[in-house]
Amino acid sequence: MSKLSVVVTVYNEEENILPLVEQITAVLKGMDYEIIYVDDGSRDRTVEKIRSIPDPRLHLIVFKKNYGQSSALAAGIDYATGDFIVTMDGDLQNDPSDIPGMIRVAEEGDFDMVTGVRINRKDDFFIRKIPSFLANRIIMRATGVRIKDNGCALKVFRSDLAKSLGLYGEMHRFIAVLAALEGARITQVDVQHHPRIHGRSKYGLSRTLKVISDLLLLTFNKKYLQRPMHFFGKWGFLVLLAGIIINIYMLILKIEGHDIWGKPLLLLGILLVIAGFQLITTGIIAELQMRTYFESQNKKPYRIRNIFRGGRQA
């Protein structure tokens, strides 16, 4: 039987600790599991509540300060020892009863990741639902990874995938995209969602700019991580060509006797030539850095799922 590691990230959730632990232990009764709580610098009695629960399968990681959900998830995943790692929020909005079914889907379908899709979502329509809907659409269009609900924290991973995701910054919102970059087989299942009863939501419209910034980074990584020169070189040559054409035109005007010094078009042409060379140079430097990244750590620019020898899996 596979061992499960349930990673729960919390920040000021003291009233939700006991009910959630009781729900998880009831649902996973008879299974081999551990619960890993990661406290992201709570200022209430969250840590005290967790430490008061006498369960040897319950572990607690306490941060010195608030580092953010991505770092909290990364710490929990690093500490986890299970074959499957389950991530969920600690606000009682995710339902632990969905976990066994998601594990079965992962095992029977040989999926690397099963992500939840919140049906009948119990959140504010204008502040949470509409921005989330638009964000999911934009992420789908920009990355090509067709996940309906990137914001759902309830996910099941195979351990090797979870530990290779490299979570940092605000990347917890793009876990499915990161998994897709690793070549993971991903599926989606409908999960329950409950209204928040205790505490306050830590999310709001203020995260929009962060999401857009991270999306730009992920889109670049997905398309050009292993070939940055294809991005910087293409735009560099286009910008350089535009600058050269403008400068040739200005040279013709000069030969014809026109005064071109100080003209905005001349300055634009010079600027484009300089910018074009800078983009091309940046591409070359990025290519050298990528080679150093792979070769210095003996990393491979590919992922192998299985190897078969003589028709049998090695």
Q: From 44, 153, 167, select the one nearest 96 (Cα to Cα).
A: 153
Does residue 169 sit in the same domain as residue 237? no
Q: Mean of the pLDDT values across residues 38-54?
A: 95
CA distance 56 to 33: 11
Contact residues for 120 (Cβ-Cβ < 8 A; gap 6+): 192, 193
Residue 278: other Cβ atoms inside 10 A: 14
**Structural domain includes residue 216:** yes
Q: How far apart are CA 88 and CA 175, in angstroms?
A: 13
pLDDT surpasses 80 at 8: yes
Query: Kind of pairing, strands 308-309 and 312-313?
Result: antiparallel
Report the C-alpha gap between 219 and 242 in whole angstroms.
26
Average of per-residue pLDDT across 194-209:
68
Residue 304 counted as domain residue: no
Distance of CA 8 to CAs 44, 110, 152, 224, 302, Å?
17, 24, 13, 33, 31
SS3 label, residue 170: coil
- Has residue 171 been placed in a domain? yes
Q: Is residue 312 situated within a structural domain?
A: no
**pLDDT of 199 over the 70 cut:** no
0.85 surpassed by pTM: no
Lowest pLDDT segment from 95-99, 172-176, 200-204: 200-204
Residue that is last in its domain, among 197, 224, 251: 224
pLDDT band at residue 239 using 50, 70 and 90 as cut-offs: very high
DSSP label of 95: -
Q: Report the chain's mean pLDDT, rounded to a whole number.
A: 88
Q: To the nearest 10°, the Cα dihedral for 173, 175, 180, 184?
A: -160
| Domain containing residue 103 | 4-224
